[in-house]
Amino acid sequence: MNISINSRVSASPDVLLQEIEGEAVLLDLKSECYFGLDAVGTRIWCLIEQHGELKSIHQLMLDEFDVEPDRLERDLEILIRQLAEAGLVSVEGGPA
């Protein structure tokens, strides 16, 4: 799966989110599996729902957190790949 900063990500309509003390539990209604996100992952999930474009999410995260841009880009791509492999998000576009 090709994922890059130029990708667009959308949350699956079959996923329910419940926030608990800044963290999140995702329920995939298709597989009936639960997934947990820490506070940073929860923030990324919310930004996926609001913006969808990894480039926008990347910039917003840089504004909010003290992190190197290259490290954030790699971490975003890893998280999005994991979410996509679990069927929680779909990804459009890729390297450009």
pLDDT in tens, 2-22: 898 999 999 999 999 999 888
Burial, 57: exposed, middle or buried (Cβ in 10 Å; 0-12, 13-18, 19+)?
buried
Q: Tell me, yes or no, whether 94 lies in a domain.
A: no
Per-residue pLDDT of the chain (96 residues; tens, 9 = 90+): 789 899 999 999 999 999 988 899 999 999 999 999 999 999 999 999 999 999 999 999 999 999 999 999 999 999 999 999 999 999 998 665
Report yes or no on 41 lying in a domain: yes
Instruction: Give the pLDDT score at 93.
Output: 84
CA–CA gap between residue 88 and residue 34 (Å, rounded): 10
Per-residue CA distances from 32 to 26, 46, 66, 84 (Å): 10, 21, 35, 16
Does a structural domain hold residue 72? yes
Tokens 């490290």 sit on residue: 71
Total domain count for the chain? 1
Backbone Cα Rg of the chain? 13
Q: What is the pLDDT of residue 94?
A: 67
pLDDT at residue 22, as a whole number = 85
Query: What's residue 27's pLDDT?
Result: 94
pLDDT of residue 1: 72
In a domain, residue 3? The reply is: no
Packing angle of the helix pair 39-50, 54-64 (nearest 10 deg) = 140
Domain residues for the domain of 56 are 8-89
